[in-house]
Every structure is written in C-alpha cells, then in structure tokens.
Amino acid sequence: MRAVLWLAAIAVAFAAADTYVVVLALPDMMAGVGLSIEELQRAAPLISGFLLGYVAVLPLIGRLADLLGHLPVLVGGLVVFAFGSFLTALSWDLAAMVVGRFFQGLGGGALVPATLALVAALYPAERRGVPLGLVSAVQELGSVLGPLIGAGVLAVADWRAIFLLNLAVGVVLAVAIRRLGRSDPALARSTRPDLVALLLLLVAGVAFVLLAIEPAALVQDLTWGALYVPAAGSTRWLTPLGLVTIIATSGFLLKWGLRPGVRRVLGRITAEVDLLGALLLSIALAGVILAFATADPEVAVFSDQGVWYLVAGGLALLGFVFHLRRAQDPIVPRGAFARMPAWGSVLISFFVGAALVAALIDVPLFARTTIYGDSQLKAALVLLEFLVALPVGAVLGGFLTRRLPAGVIAGGGMLLAAAAFVFMARWDAEALRSVSATVVLVTGGLGFGLALAPVNAAILATTEQSMHGLTTSFTVVARMVGMLVGISALTTIGLRSYYAAQADLPSLSSVCTGGGMCAEYQDLLIGAAIAQEHTVFAGAAVCAGIAAVLSVLLLRGAPTRALSPSETVTAL
C-alpha cells in the first residue's frame, strides 16, 4: 500500500506541474484555437474552467473517497485527468478546450484529498508528519518541474504534446495504482471484459480524433468529405462524425452504467451521499471562483458579472446552511469541524494561499520589470529559487511535527514567509542581481514549506478518519480560494499604487528633450512598476503574518506528535 502512496504522490506532483506548464504554453494554446495575445481576457475560461473542476466539486469528491475508498477515487481521478488531457490536446475551438481543462481540473483535484486521506489511513496520527511533509514536498516539486517540462516540450514540439504527455502518464499511473491496490482476492480475480462497451469506446475515440484533426485526404475527398458536413449550422458536433462521437460515447456510458457493480456503486452514492448539499456547496464555490477568476484587476477586484456570481454563490450558501440544519446525513456532517484545529486549518489555508500566490505571480513579474525585460522564461526561472526551497521546507516541517506542536511549526514558517515579503517590498531595480535576493527567496520558500505538513497533520488529527477525504478537501479548497482572492485583491491594490506613482511623474517632454521616450523616463516608469510590486509584497506579508498568528492560536491542542524523528523515519 505504501507503493500506492508513492504513486499517488507522483500523480499529485504531475497534476501540479500541469498547472505551471499551461502558464508557459498559454499563448500557443490561444493561437491554436484562433485567439491572439491581445484577446487574453477571452482566454480567461481556460483558467477559470480548470479551477471550477479543481475546486467546486472537491467536497463531493472528498466525501466519495471516504465512502468508496481512496484507491477508486485515485484511479478515477487519473482517468478523468487523462480524459481531460485528451480533449484539450485535440481541441479545435475555445469551447472544446475549456471542457477539456474542466475535466483536467476535476481529475487533478480529486488526487489531493484522496492522497492525504490515504496517508491518514496508513499512519497513526503521531506518525503522519513526515509522510505528509513528503507528499507536500512532491506536490510542490511539481511547481518546480512544471516550467522545466513545459520549456523542454515546447522546445521540440507544440503545445498539444504537453497534453498528450499528460494522457500517457495519467493512464500509466492509473493502471499501476489499480494493479498494486488489488489486495482483496475478490478484486484480484479476472473478470470478462465488456466487448460491446470497449467497441463503443473505440468507435467514439476514433471518430473524435478524426473530427479533431480533419485529415486533408478525408476532408477533400468527394465521398468521405461528407463526414465533415454539418447537418445544421457550422458546429463540428452536428457533422456525421460528431454525431457518431456523441452516440457512441452515450452508448458506452449507458452500457458501462448498466453493469451490476457500477449500478451498486451508483445506488450506494445516491442513497448515502447528500447530493443536494453537494450541489448547493458546489454552486457557492463556483460563484466565488467565477467572481474572482473573471475579474480584470486593472478595473476592480471582481468584474460586473462577478457581482452576480457572488450573489448566486451567496444564495446557494444560504440554501446550503439551511439544508445542513434539516438534512439527516448532510455532506458535511454536523461536528465535522467542531474542534478548533480542524476549522482553524481551513482558515489558515486561506491566508497561506493568499500570500503564496503573490510569490508565484509577482516574483516573475518583478524580474521581468527589472533585469529580464527581454525574456519571459528567464524571469519565470527566478522563481525556481523559491520553489526549490519549498519542498525542502515541507519535508523539514513534517520532520519537526514529530518534535514540536503543529502551531509552532506552521506559525514559525509563515513568520519566515512574512519576513521574506517584507524584504521583497524593499527591493530596488538591481536587487535580483545580489545574493541577498536569493537568500530572501529561499527563506520564503522554506517558510511556506514548513507550514504545509503541520496544517494538514492538524486537521487529520482532529477529525474522524471516516471524514478525512472530506475534511482535507476543504483545506485544498480554502487555499485555492485564498489564491484567487489574494491575486485579485492584491493586484488591484498594487495597480492603484502604480497609477498613483505614474500620476506623479513629470511629463515626457520635460524629461526627454530629444523626442520619443528616453532612458531616463523609462527608468521612471520602471520605478512606478516597482512601487506596484512593493505594494503587492507588503500585502502578502500581512496575509502571511495573519496566517502565522492564526497558526499559533488555532492549532493548539492538535495531537500531531508522539514519536521521535528516528522512529518516524524508520516507519517510512
């Protein structure tokens, strides 16, 4: 089973890497569906679609992991992630790509709570520190490998190769975990394959590939070209190939759903899972995600449509709270977060996410503004100094959890992160050329890493094992929502600082006497941009400081330590 845990951790790391790969590949992906770089706002659904899949249904997936077991959810998450990668790789327009990204987020999000709950199932509370630190470390290692994988793939192939690689890795990991996880002799017995279902799946796959790539030999053929002529309108889905894809896929799902084992599982889910509560909670989370993910930070924290998203989310949340009071077995059981470290871990995760996103987004921006104005890749690689230190801190945090209270470790780590942001808020245009900047970035990465394992250990130690999938999903949701809110709010505040600094600049003609923009005026504009980044870093320092204080106050009493570090390492 521990081999399964390592494979699950690798899957989490790979899903995390995919997020950072997409950041590098986004301009090429936009071009692939006919969007120019000037239409960046139209590409926002590529991000918000992924986040919707990743966050909005996480509580439901966490509950399913508790009900059905962690291994089925891990395998299912990998299959869905691979399916989303397949759709994205063959997308021909923005709508198809958004659907693919949604399924990628759905599958990738399922991996995190299932893996954390698997740690809780394999280790007692006092031995979880190091395993949680290692899982957190490999997850953050994905953020280090992502830009490198993306740069490597894009150097030899186009953006579609990234998602085809995701497809291959997802399938391999799903098969490996399923085989290793068959400890039950009843499950180990071979079963006859459903040939009809496999044939329908094959037909759907071939039709979809032909529909996506449009081979010239077929399209231009007088006979076979009819397969690409829509019955109505201009959408490819109404072509004969599109209709075959839809019908074959529907037939496969129906045939698969009629299998006795699948019917039993679906019946159990319907009977034992609070689907109405899950729906209301998903709508509430979706409202928050869409409100901030669709915002233009140059205008406001959230867009005009974002107000309505928040209203819809708020109404769904009220309905969810009312439903919790009446439901016999709600999706969030009463008392699930009754203990202070349990709900405290969720609150702390929100502020950790709000601070962390400032480093992930604004450190490369600062590098691009100052010393790497001609290279987006070099500016992004500056962040590696921070990201390499983060998994090291995660392992160290798990190791220290065996010796010190979780609140002390998490609080100390976030205090280090806050101190790093304070120094970042004082960087000048040449700061990144000095060794001191490396020390600051490494310190910040270590600080965030130190906080990861203790927060996860605290919520696992203070909630029932039967709810670990559900409760850990809330820490992931809180961190992701914190990142969304943080980047939107901090960027908006930072841009106001930029505009204020820009308004105080002298006129161009008073500085540049020779016509055009001179170096002196360009330096003044860089100074205004640096003022914006300073504001963001200062806001992140405040968020990290709040997380540090909350860690010390709210994680008290979490029983996360009992054995010595040597005993913990031996247990691994």
Token output for 136: 């957190």
Q: Do 489 and 482 contact (CB within 8 A), yes or no?
A: no
Q: Looking at residue 527, what is its pLDDT?
A: 77
283 located within any domain: no
The separation between the first and the last C-alpha atoms of the chain, rounded to the nearest angstrom, is: 12
The pLDDT of residue 552 is: 95
Which tens digits make up the pLDDT trace of 397-429? Answer: 888 887 889 999 999 999 999 999 999 999 988
pLDDT for the residue numbered 319: 93
Q: Could you count the other beta carbons within 10 Å of the beta carbon of residue 515?
A: 8
Q: How many CA within 13 A on the CB side of residue 172?
A: 10
Domain contains 193: no
Decide if 290 is inside a domain. Answer: no
The pLDDT value recorded for residue 489 is 82
The domain boundary residue, chosen from 184, 204, 238: 184
DSSP letters, 398-449, are: HHHTTTS-HHHHHHHHHHHHHHHHHHHTT--TTGGGSHHHHHHHHHHHHHHH
User: In this structure, are residues 372 and 378 in contact, taking their beta carbons and an 8 Å threshold?
Assistant: yes
Handedness of CA 53, 57, 58, 63 (dihedral sign): negative
Task: State residue 186's pLDDT score.
Answer: 37
In a domain, 268, yes or no: no
Using alpha carbons, select from 179, 178, 157, 175 the residue that is nearest to residue 167. Answer: 175
> Is residue 305 situated within a structural domain?
no
**Under 8 Å CB-to-CB from 567, ≥6 apart: which residues?**
127, 402
* CATH, residue 480: 1.20.1250.20
Dihedral angle of Cα 37, 38, 44, 50, to the nearest 10 degrees: 0
Domain boundary, last residue among 164, 184, 204: 184
Residue ranges of the chain with pLDDT lower than 70?
A: 1-2, 19-20, 22-24, 36-44, 120, 125-130, 132-133, 139-141, 143-144, 147, 181-193, 294-303, 376-377, 498, 501-502, 504-525, 561-572
Contact 391, 138 (CB under 8 A): yes
Query: E-strand spans in 149-306?
Result: none
Q: Is 414 part of any domain? A: yes
For 297, the 3-state DSSP assignment is coil
Domain that holds residue 464: 341-501+515-572
CA-based nearest residue to 67, from 465, 476, 477, 458: 465
pLDDT of residue 408: 93
Q: How far apart are CA 214 and CA 220, in angstroms?
A: 10
The answer to whether residue 142 is domain-embedded is: yes
User: Which of 138, 159, 184 represents a domain boundary (last residue)?
Assistant: 184
Residue 231: C-alpha distances to residues 210, 211, 220, 240, 527 (Å): 17, 14, 18, 8, 58
CA distance 129 to 120: 10
User: Interhelix angle for 2-32 vs 44-51, to 10°?
Assistant: 160
Using the structure block, give the residue that is written with the tokens 């397969």. Answer: 227
Domain for residue 112, yes or no?
yes
Please state, in angstroms and rounded to a whole number, the distance separating the CA atoms of residues 249 and 530: 52
Q: Cβ(410)–Cβ(451) under 8 Å?
A: yes
Q: ∠ at Cα 40 (380, 211), nearest 5°?
A: 105
pLDDT tens across 297-325, in order? 555 666 677 788 889 989 999 999 999 88
Number of domains in the chain: 2
